[in-house]
Amino acid sequence: MRVLALVILTISVVSVASSARAQTYDPNYPVCLKLIQNFGGEWNDCRFTSLEQCAPSASGRAAQCIINPYYAGATGPQRRDRRYRGAY
């Protein structure tokens, strides 16, 4: 009887636990195509480098080109042009 109760408890915990979702936005590209699907879901395709590049893919579909909120930007070394005034 304990085994049966343990099996039922395990199955209920596994079925109730939410599954992990994959990352929605790719941080390597600045523009995403947000597609609205017929059954109410949405899907993001982040592989565009500009809004102009994304626009033809969105044309004629239930889609919208958006700026990627998780875009990492250029990760190279930053150049400092600020000049400091020396002490007199």
**Ranges 9-18, 42-51, 52-61: which has the least confidence:** 9-18
- The pLDDT, as a whole number, for residue 75 is 59
pTM over 0.75: no
Q: Which residues contact 58 (CB under 8 A, 6 or more apart)?
A: 33, 64, 65
- Quote the distance between the C-alpha of residue 11 and its chain's center: 31
